[in-house]
Every structure is written in C-alpha cells, then in structure tokens.
Amino acid sequence: MLNIAKVIFIKKAKRGLYIVLYIAMSTLATSSVHASVKDVHEIIDVCTSAQRILKDYALIGIGTTYHNPKKDMEETVKRLNEELKDLESHDVSKSLHEEEVALHKEWDKIEEKVRQTPDKKSIFELYKMITKFTKHCEVLAEHLAADTGIAAEHDVVLIAELNMEVQRLVGLYAVRTWDGVTQSEFETESKIIIKEYNDILGELLHADDKLVSKKVKSHLKGLSKYFTRLELTIENSKENHVPALVAKRAEVLYVKIKEILLEEEHEVEK
C-alpha cells in the first residue's frame, strides 16, 4: 500500500523553496534569451492537466460517466503532448531547455500507463508517477516564471497551483474510491493538500497590490465557499463515496480559478 511519507513529499517546505528558487533564478542574467509568458502559461497548464488526467483515469476505472471522463482524458492528453512539444521548440536557456526535455521524458512514461486499461494496480502506480511528475513540473514553472523577469509571474504560477491542488484532491478522492489508498492514508494526504491550498491562497492575499490587485484578491476570497463545499462533500462521504459529485464540485472551482488566472495574466503581463 502507499507510503505517504515517501510518495507525498511534494509540498514540504515548498513555500521557502520557491523563494530560494525565485531569488536564484532572478540572478541568472548571463543568458541572452529568456522565457516568455507563453512558456509559463503552457507549463502551468501541463502541471494542472496531469492531475486532471489522474482524476479522469480513476473515474473511467470506477465506471463513473460524469462529464465523459474517457473523452476528457483523451483531449487532455492530446493537449498536454502538444504543449510539451511546443515548449521545447521555444528559445530559452540551455538549462531550462534541459529541464523541459527531462520533464517530457518523464511524461512519456506516464502516458504509457494512461494508455493501459485502468485497474487498481495501474491507478496506484499512476498516482505515484503523477505525484512525482507534478513536483518537477511545478519547479520548472517557477524557473520559467523567474526567467521572464516579470515579478508577478510568480503569482501567476501560484494561482495556477490553486487549481493543481483542487485537481490533486479530487484525483486522490477518486483513487480512494477505488481502494488505491486506505481511508487513513487519504485523510493524512488530503489534510496536506488542503493546507497547501490555504497556504498558497494566503500568500496571494498578502501579496503586494502591484503584483496581485485588490480586484483579483477579492475574487480569490470568493473561492472560499466553493472550496468549503468541496471539503464538506468529501468529509460527508467517507462511507458512501460520491466521485461524480466531488468531480462536479471540483470542476466548478477549476473554471472559477481559470477565470481568476486569466484576469491576473491580463493585469500583470501587459
């Protein structure tokens, strides 16, 4: 069964890590080429898409028909492949390009699993692989954001991470529904995810208004009722799982966070 301590290590000390990464990358002025906001947009979509693929894969295995998970997963896989390929075609520093290539190779192994018929063993393996992939993806997103030279691009990544956490939570719930993890393991990990979501949200709400406007902050605060609704649905379905309803709650959040993300991008990337 899943060793939470080993597999779920992504978020520990992450906020501090990001600060270090941001400062470190900001000092790299030796390269004549730099990442663009398009690079950042594509990589954060890749990170989020990986989590959505896990969710849809599990829903297919469980037999849930909500939102046609098979069709959704196929479309997401196709877009993720296109974005990774496009990322690698852009002119960035050698070190960033090497990170992109390494991430793509990691994804190729995941895609092999995704193409298999879902079963309990494959969902467990896929969960571990996507957990690791997401860690690397988020670090690359921070590197690319720092390399753009736009201070607020870090906050763009943070808003996208809110969606990653939501998708990660619903994906884990789907894995639990299929007995891929025990209830105890699910509760331990879901607490970590929820805390990380709240930590990211807190950082955004306390950001300088020049980086995250009051208008954007107001919309971020408005997410509270939707996230609480998702939490309560999960908490109240320990005995009788409701994966379709949880997926529906998460989809509402996904759309709303995407709208806020677009608003932030429009304000800071002029």
Phi, psi of 87 (to 5 degrees): -55, -45
Does the structure show a pLDDT above 90 at 67?
Answer: no
Does the structure show a pLDDT above 60 at 72?
Answer: yes
In a domain, 225, yes or no: yes
Residue range 37-65, pLDDT digits in tens: 999 999 999 999 999 999 999 999 988 87
Residue range 198-249, pLDDT digits in tens: 999 999 999 999 999 999 999 999 999 999 999 999 999 988 999 999 999 9
Task: Tell me the C-alpha to C-alpha distance, in Å, between residue 62 and each of 50, 102, 165, 183, 242.
Answer: 19, 32, 22, 17, 11
Sequence letter at residue 168: R
In a domain, 93, yes or no: yes
Q: What is the pLDDT of residue 12?
A: 41
Nearest to 6 by CA among 195, 121, 135, 95: 135
Domain count, the chain: 1
CB contact set of 102 (below 8 Å; sequence gap of 6+)? 136
In a domain, 13, yes or no: no
Does the structure show a pLDDT above 70 at 24?
Answer: no
Does the structure show a pLDDT above 90 at 69?
Answer: yes
CB contact set of 158 (below 8 Å; sequence gap of 6+)? 200, 203, 204
Q: What is the pLDDT of residue 31?
A: 57
Residue 237 has a CB neighbour count (10 Å cut-off) of: 15
In a domain, 189, yes or no: yes
Residue ranges making up the domain that contains 161: 34-268
Q: What is the pLDDT of residue 65?
A: 77
In a domain, 96, yes or no: yes
Average pLDDT, the chain: 89
Token look-up 């877009």 returns 79
Q: 20 pLDDT band (50/70/90 cuts)?
A: very low
In a domain, 74, yes or no: yes
Q: What is the pLDDT of residue 122?
A: 78
Q: What is the pLDDT of residue 66?
A: 80
Q: What is the pLDDT of residue 124?
A: 79
In a domain, 251, yes or no: yes
In a domain, 6, yes or no: no
With pLDDT > 70 as the criterion, what percentage of the chain qualifies? 88
Q: 146 pLDDT band (50/70/90 cuts)?
A: very high
